[in-house]
A and B are shown apart, each in its own frame.
Chain A
């Protein structure tokens, strides 16, 4: 960045002459060092996975969860500065609660993404604040059934005007990623954090846009992708954290929950096997090409 030191990178809300907000770009740098996080939109739900680097042996395994629930049906996983993430999730929960207060119904995932996008963007506008050092993947399952209004006690008259359209399609899986600039897009598969490059190329191989992949497959792919993305920082230990949200007749009944231990361990074992298999292939290939050269 040639413009560093020109003074335009010191304040939020000030553009550089070539039209950049350096504070936002520095925030993105903060994300680039965070643990890898991914989200996969499957046909019957959404899977989240997070590579949680073990910072100390003194930290209890499984503590300090990084994937959070908002309302019942939405999950958020953040990569970047953890305290920013906590605040972001807290705000998302407040938004979901205020939506319920006003509309007496759960917030649609798209509406939450929109509100959180606006919130993050507001932190790029003022010199008194810094942007979020955070890229968040936000996804959920909006109910495909006609939900009663909160507190509804009856179903109303069975005949006469009601304005209901029969056979209307509603709900489904949704996935968004919000960047420090406030930019948010919907994704089939999203990745952020340190290993995002390899995670993204793995996600692309899944052909998610065709919408064939099931939630169970998604869980296994997610685990594998986190293991693949971790290859570059192999020397550090990590914990795999995974959560999912399925359709109403799926395993989580429309709720965002942690992936059950048994299934997670199965997916992890599978992922390790794949990784080891690849390593063997690599070694064989290297062995063939380089003859008796020593490894490492």
Chain B
């Protein structure tokens, strides 16, 4: 018997001739789930004293092509949680459907006391983040990751502001200000200048937080070549979610671009 495991279970070469290996895959394992196709760029979010603000632009890129320009990457789950998706858009859609069926089943199990204006939605932002982190980790363990970096913004079970992220590996991280993708490099320092830690976020006003996030979106549009000046922004507070999906960046100033050297057609 051949001692090479590759040959086990295969027809013997000395009887049937050499195995025709052209039928076998030539290029190693399957790779079609190993890269995103249509992608969204950064999601930016920040906690303030009684809520969370989260924003993402409305672009879905196909490689470097700005393919879809009215894509809503913020998803309101209920009155207490909004998700911001960076990364693959079709995986985002898959997760969206998954969460729709989750919320239906939650409603079957606990319809809540209806009519009372307080929405007793049983899933808060914290529950949702835990659930998503398990989904993402399971998928990466199957070598079939959902190519997203997600920010979960909302309120926890005590109605305190909650902000956390989960990425395609199932890694979770939480901080008073968070951003995905390019924004993790570019936006987070800007936000941290406004509120460096939890204590500062607890005293931050909503207007200051919203302005900081808008400023971060603007800087991202200046420097991120896969971004757009149309964006969505959501504010989650105890009294509900305020979601605007068709905002335009205001007060742009491209004066700084004049001083940039080394790109394009300039000579010096």
Stretch binding the partner chain, chosen from B4-12, B76-84, B108-116, B217-225: B108-116
Once bound together, how far apart are the Cα atoms of A260 and B117, in whole Å? 10
Q: Which B77-119 residues have a C-beta within 8 angstroms of A? A: 89, 92-94, 96-97, 100-101, 104, 107-108, 111, 113-116
Q: Is the CB of A100 within 8 A of B71?
A: no
Instruction: Let me know if B234 is at the binding interface, CB within 8 A.
Output: no
Whether A154 lies near B71 (C-beta < 8 A) is yes
Across the interface, A69 reaches (CB within 8 A) one of B60, B92, B100, B111, namely B111
Instruction: Tell which of A153, A257, A261, A263 touches B89, judged by Cβ atoms closer than 8 Å.
Output: A153
The reply to whether A252 and B101 form a contact with Cβ atoms under 8 Å apart is: no
Contact A153 B92 (CB under 8 A): yes
Contacts A151-B93, A153-B60: A72 and B107 contacting too (C-beta < 8 A)? yes
**Interface: B202 (CB within 8 A):** no
A72 to B111, CA, bound (A): 10
A281 within 8 A of B: no
Bound complex: CA of A92 vs CA of B97, how far in Å?
19
Q: List 17 A-B contacts (CB under 8 A).
A: A65-B111, A69-B108, A69-B111, A72-B104, A93-B108, A96-B104, A100-B97, A151-B92, A151-B97, A153-B71, A153-B93, A154-B60, A154-B68, A154-B71, A252-B114, A257-B115, A259-B115
Is chain A's interface secondary structure helix, strand, loop, or mixed overall? Answer: loop
CB of B107 within 8 A of CB of A69, answer: yes
Partner of B100, one of A150, A251, A262: A150
The contact string, 1 if C-beta is below 8 Å from chain B, for chain A 152-181, is 111110000000000000000000000000
CB-contact partner of A150 in B68, B70, B89, B96, under 8 A: B96
Q: Please indicate the chain B residues that have their CB under 8 angstroms from the CB of A259 in the complex.
A: 114-115
In the complex, what residue of chain B is closest to A153 when comparing beta carbons? B71
Given A69-B108, A154-B72, is A260 in contact with B92 using a C-beta cutoff of 8 Å?
no
Q: List A residues at the B interface (Cβ < 8 Å).
A: 65, 68-69, 71-72, 93, 96-97, 100, 104, 150-156, 251-252, 257-263
Are B115 and A262 in contact, with the CB atoms below 8 A?
A: yes
Of all chain B residues, which has the CB nearest A155? B70
User: In the complex, what residues of A have CB within 8 A of residue B226's CB?
Assistant: none
Q: Which residue on chain A has the smallest CB distance to residue B117?
A: A260
Q: Who on chain A is nearest to B73 by CB?
A: A153
Extra A-B contacts (5), CB below 8 Å, given A153-B71, A154-B60, A154-B68: A69-B111, A150-B100, A153-B68, A258-B113, A263-B115
Interface centre among B93, B104, B113 (most CB of A within 10 A): B104
**B115 close to A261 (CB less than 8 A):** yes
Q: How many residues of B contact A (CB 8 A)?
A: 23
Q: Which B residues have a C-beta under 8 Å from some C-beta of A?
A: 58, 60, 68, 70-73, 89, 92-94, 96-97, 100-101, 104, 107-108, 111, 113-116
Residue of B nearest to A259 (CB): B115
For B93, what are the chain A residues with a Cβ–Cβ distance below 8 Å?
151-153
Cβ–Cβ < 8 Å partners of B116 in chain A:
260
Contacts of B97 in A (CB 8 A): 100, 104, 150-151
Can you name the residue of chain B whose Cβ is closest to the Cβ of A263?
Answer: B115
**Cα A110 to Cα B72 with chains together (Å):** 32
A100–B70 contact, CB under 8 A?
no
Of the residues A150, A153, A258, A263, contact of B111 by C-beta under 8 Å: A258
Q: How far is the CB of B57 from chain A (nearest CB, A)?
A: 13
Beyond A72-B107, A100-B101, whether A260 also contacts B73 by CB under 8 A is: no
Which residue of chain A has its CB nearest to the CB of B114?
Answer: A257
Contacts of A72 in B (CB 8 A): 104, 107
Measured between alpha carbons, how far is A152 from B97 in the docked complex, in Å? 10
Taken together as a complex, chains A and B put the C-alpha atoms of A211 and B133 apart, in Å, by: 50
Q: Are B70 and A154 in contact (CB under 8 A)?
A: yes
C-alpha gap A257/B114 in the complex (Å): 6
A150–B58 Cα gap in the complex (Å)? 18
Residue in A93, A154, A263 with the greatest tally of chain B CB atoms within 10 Å: A154
Could you tell me if B111 and A100 are in contact, using CB atoms closer than 8 angstroms?
no
With a cutoff of 8 Å between Cβ atoms, the chain A residues found around residue B96 in the complex are 150-151
Q: Which of B58, B93, B94 has the most CB of A within 10 A?
A: B93
Residues of B within 8 A of A65 (CB): 111
Which chain B residue has the least Cβ–Cβ distance from A67? B111
Which of chain A's residues have a CB closer than 8 A to the CB of B115?
251, 257-263
Query: Cα distance A251–B100 when bound, in Å?
Result: 22
Smallest beta-carbon distance B90→chain A, Å: 9
Are B101 and A97 in contact, with the CB atoms below 8 A? yes
